[in-house]
Chain A
Amino acid sequence: MSVGYAAIQWSKPKRRYDLIVGLAIIAYIGTFMLVSKMLWTGASAISDEVLILRALGSCGFILLHIILCIGPLARFDPRWLPVLFNRRHLGVMTFFIALAHGVIAIGYYHGFGTINPLVSLLTSNTEFASVQAFPYQLLGVVALIVLFLLAATSHDFWNKNLSAATWKRLHMSVYGAYVLLVAHVALGALQNDRGLLGPIATVLGVCTVGVLHLLAAWRERNRDLSSPTSSVAGEEWIDVGTPAEIPDDRARTVCAPGGERIAIFKHNGRISAVTNVCAHQGGPLGEGAIIDGCITCPWHGWQYKPQDGCAPPPFQEKVATYRVRISAGRVQVNARALPPGTPTDPVSARSEAANV
């Protein structure tokens, strides 16, 4: 949360995060180069440029897997949230590693020749109809362009100015980049590979990303209460359960008939409801907690007051609120979202329908 923009709002956790990621990258590339130089010596040495390309390429590919796995992992176990909170820096670092890989590859394989390296990149291989000879480098180039767009727009400035929904849609294209990179690896490096390790590792990586996402989606679907709705005077009310079923300072999440998820919080014995979607990056507010009287998003700690969905001053972000009532001892939430920042009266967990 911020009232202004800075290139990077450095904080101690961010510095520590970047330091650890930097160390992991150095550890990977350093170990790869060292072991390769020790194993392949003399006449059978592998070219330094090839070693650097392999180290950078595989490092970037591993980091992209980590980036994609953090989201679902953090939903299964909140202990992963510290890895998620600064995922953007991880993404930007991944882009720069991929960029270095791409620049060296183009220079090495397409440079020093009769034509411009970029022209060579686009024209040297046009065997699009062949799996065996497919110009896999172009897949890497397209993926790199997508990663650039994501890195360039990762700042909150773009999040705010593109709107959170557009920004989110744009950044979902990381999955497109991932598919392109899997194809880039499968149609490139793996076709050169004589062993099974590369194909097995790639399949394992793809399966890990896929299974984690499927499990997270399945879990989320199961957690959406399949609540009965009742229609009164044209208004739909969704059953949430008894007040006791909502943990203190936590939420239950229900799914409105239109598919919108609603987070119903209990704080100091009073119940209120807001959209489950954080105004920042669409984080699941219902998986957050009330901290210092504010609904706190588990992804980046953005906060909203439960009674009106407004961020505490001086911040200005707002989320949609919902009306809540208690009827026959059960909590019900109105299916219609109120405009972001609309005040509502949180109902007492002990009150009855008159509190609507």
Chain B
Amino acid sequence: MSEHLLPPPRDQAIYVNYLPMPVGIHRFLKFAVPAVLWIMCALAFVWARSQYSPGNAVWETGKPVEFMGVLGAAPYPVLFTPAKDGTITAVLLVEQGKFGTQKRAAALSGQLVRVSGWLLHREGRQILELEPEDRALVRITDAAITQAPTLRELGSVTVRGEIVDGKCYLGAMKPGAGKTHKECATLCIRGGIPPIVIAFSADGSTEYLLLQSESGEAIDPALHHLIADPVEIRGVKHQWLGVSGLGVLRVRAADVRRL
């Protein structure tokens, strides 16, 4: 409607978008617009700085790597492979996406195998995302290790920490823990990704415990609603002989409580 209107009176102080802008408002906006842009940048800077480190976890997404060793298939597939220092490294195995590799591993349980895929690791703990092709998990006849290490019971313990899915926490998502990751971790664990308890000690140290049911099977689905919550867990701790860095905690669903 501007074409038939006269210019606004000199004392007009309100802004009408189809009329010339009053001088006072124009002066204000010349200051306010750059100020808003700077404030947005400042807010973004402060907010970005306030984030915390998700931890030193790496997903080696480049060239696939190979491991040879003994496969333990149930309940969460794990490859026992000799380390350079003479100890044994436990490498958890998973598929791409949010899937465990139980189906592929079942036929080769206890066998010598060669696996290939992309490694995720955090503080020395390792998980391998297998390549989708069949050649990613094959039986071999010779390896520097011939038998899976014995799982020894260490007794009852009570730990406090968080149940995470091994794949995300070891580098697939960063951060791969906490409230915002709860649904993802639940989906991963339901899909067969190994659940790990990150147990925090009073001295500041962290322990990684592969979670299993009381009888050594996959965890009770009744535990799923406690994934990613701060929890206290009472269970029986186990350790593979010669394997450091990853223990096993066998629990009953009733012995896990949200803190």
Tell me whether A169 is interfacial, beta carbon within 8 Å.
no
Interface of A is mostly: helix
A31, B18: Cβ atoms closer than 8 Å:
no
B47 engages A58 (CB within 8 Å) = yes
Q: Is A137's beta carbon under 8 Å from chain B?
A: yes
> In the complex, which of the residues A36, A78, A194 contacts B15, with contact meaning CB atoms closer than 8 Å?
A78
> In angstroms, how far is the closest chain A Cβ from the Cβ of B122?
8
B33 engages A20 (CB within 8 Å) = yes
State which of B1, B6, B36, B46 has its C-beta within 8 Å of the C-beta of A303.
B1
Instruction: Say yes or no: A46-B19 contact (C-beta < 8 A), given A35-B44, A291-B12, A315-B1.
Output: no
Q: Which residues of B contact A39 (CB under 8 A)?
A: 48-49, 51
Inter-chain contacts of B8 with A (CB < 8 A) = 291-292
- Residue B54 is within 8 A (CB to CB) of chain A in the complex: yes
Query: How many Å lie between the Cα of A165 and that of B187 in the bound state?
Result: 45
In the assembled complex, the Cα of A266 lies from the Cα of B24 at a distance in Å of: 24
Q: Is the CB of B173 within 8 A of A50?
A: yes
A42-57 to B contact mask, C-beta < 8 Å, 1/0? 0111110110001100
Known: A46-B51, A189-B180. A82 touches B56 (CB 8 A): no
B225 within 8 A of A: yes
**Cβ-defined contact, A289 with B44, below 8 A:** no
Asked whether, in the complex, the Cβ of B50 is within 8 Å of the Cβ of A126, the reply is: no
A78 in contact with B17 given A50-B173, A133-B229, A291-B8 (CB within 8 Å): no
Inter-subunit contact A47/B173 (CB<8 Å): yes
B48 lies within 8 A of A62 (CB): no
A136 to chain B, nearest CB (A): 7
Interface residue? B139 (CB, 8 A): no
Known contacts A291-B16, A301-B16, A315-B1: does B41 contact A191 (CB below 8 Å)?
no
Can you list, as one digit per residue, whether each of B9-27 has a CB less than 8 Å from chain A (1) or not (0)? 1011111111101001100
CB of A85 closer than 8 Å to a CB of B? yes
Number of inter-chain CB pairs below 8 Å: 197
Residues of B within 8 A of A115 (CB): 187
Q: A312 contacts the other chain (Cβ, under 8 Å)? A: yes
Q: How far is the CA of A187 from the CA of B51 in the complex (A)?
A: 17
- How many B residues touch A, CB cutoff 8 Å? 66
Chain B, range 164-183, C-beta contacts under 8 Å to A = 173-175, 178-183
Docked complex Cα distance between A301 and B1 (Å): 10
Asked whether, in the complex, the Cβ of A31 is within 8 Å of the Cβ of B48, the reply is yes
Q: A112-B97, A114-B187, A124-B187 are in contact. Are A13 and B17 (CB under 8 A)?
A: yes
**In the assembled complex, how far is the CB of residue B67 from the closest CB belonging to chain A, in whole angstroms?**
21
| Residues of chain A lying within 8 A (CB to CB) of residue B32 | 79
From known contacts A114-B98, A132-B258, A301-B18, infer whether A109 and B184 are also in contact, taking CB-CB under 8 Å: yes
- Chain B residues near A189: list those with CB within 8 A: 180
**Minimum C-beta distance from B58 to chain A (A):** 5
- A81 engages B25 (CB within 8 Å): yes
Bound-state Cα–Cα, A79 to B188, Å: 53
What are the residues of chain A within 8 A of B19 when measuring CB–CB?
291, 301
Residue numbers in A under 8 Å from B191 (CB-CB): 113-114
Give Cα A193–Cα B165 distance, bound, in whole angstroms. 20
Would B48 and A125 count as touching, CB distance under 8 A?
A: no
Judged by a CB distance under 8 angstroms, whether B37 is at the interface is yes
Closest to A74 in B: B15
Flag whether B57 is at the interface (Cβ < 8 A). Answer: yes
Complex-state Cα separation, A292 to B44, whole angstroms: 44
Does A342 belong to the interface (CB within 8 Å)? no
From A13, A43, A188, give the contact of B179 (CB < 8 A).
A188
Are B225 and A44 interface neighbours, CB within 8 A? no
Considering residues A40, A43, A136, A189, which has the most beta carbons from chain B within 10 angstroms of its beta carbon? Answer: A43
Measured CB to CB, the closest approach of chain B to A127, in angstroms, equals 6
* Chain A neighbourhood of B258, CB < 8 A: 130, 132-133
Chain B residues positioned under 8 Å from A292 (CB to CB): 5-6, 8
B174 x A113 contact (CB < 8 A)? no
Could you tell me if A136 and B17 are in contact, using CB atoms closer than 8 angstroms? Answer: no
Question: Residues of B contacting A193 with CB < 8 Å?
Answer: 50
Query: How far is B36's CA from A24's CA once the two chains are assembled, in angstroms?
Result: 7
Subset of 12 A-B contacts with CB under 8 Å: A25-B40, A47-B174, A55-B44, A58-B43, A81-B15, A113-B98, A114-B187, A132-B258, A133-B179, A194-B52, A197-B47, A291-B16
A interface residues, Cβ below 8 angstroms from B: 1, 11, 13-14, 20, 23-25, 27-33, 35-36, 39-40, 43-47, 49-50, 54-55, 58, 62, 78-79, 81-82, 85-86, 108-110, 112-115, 120-121, 124-127, 130, 132-133, 135-137, 187-189, 191-195, 197-198, 201, 249, 287-289, 291-292, 296, 298, 300-301, 303, 312, 315
Going nearest first, the 9 A-B pairs with the smallest beta carbon separation are A31-B44, A35-B48, A112-B97, A301-B16, A32-B44, A81-B15, A43-B56, A113-B98, A124-B183
